Structure 1
Amino acid sequence: MAAPASKTVGDLNGKWVLNKALSDSLDPALTLQGVSWFVRKAIGAATVTLHVKQYLGPPAPPSTSADPVPRIDIEQVATAGVKGTTENRCLDYEFREHSDWLFGHVKGRSRFLGVAELKAWVAGEAKTEGWVEDEFAALDWLEGDGEQKGPAGETLIVNHVVNLDAAGGWTAVQVWGFQSVGGERRYTRNIVVAKGEQFVNFKMVYDYIGDDA
Structure 2
Amino acid sequence: MDLTVAASELVGVVTPAPTAGDSLVAVLSGRVARSDYGGEILLGGTPLHTIEHVQARKNLLVEPHDTDLFAGTVGSNVTVGAGPNVDERFVDRVLHASAAIHVVTVHSDGMSTVAAERGASLSGGQRQRVALARALLTQAPVLVLHEPTTAVDAVTEHAVAEGISSLRHRAGDGKGCGFTTILVTSSPALLAVTDRVVVLDSDGVVAEGTHADLARSDERYRRAVLR
Q: Does the pair score TM above 0.5?
A: no
Q: Which of structures 1 and 2 has the larger relative contact order (alpha carbons within 8 angstroms, sep 6+)?
A: 2
> Whose radius of gyration is greater, 1 or 2?
2
Q: Which has the higher helix share?
A: 2
TM-score, normalising length from structure 2?
0.24
Higher strand share: 1
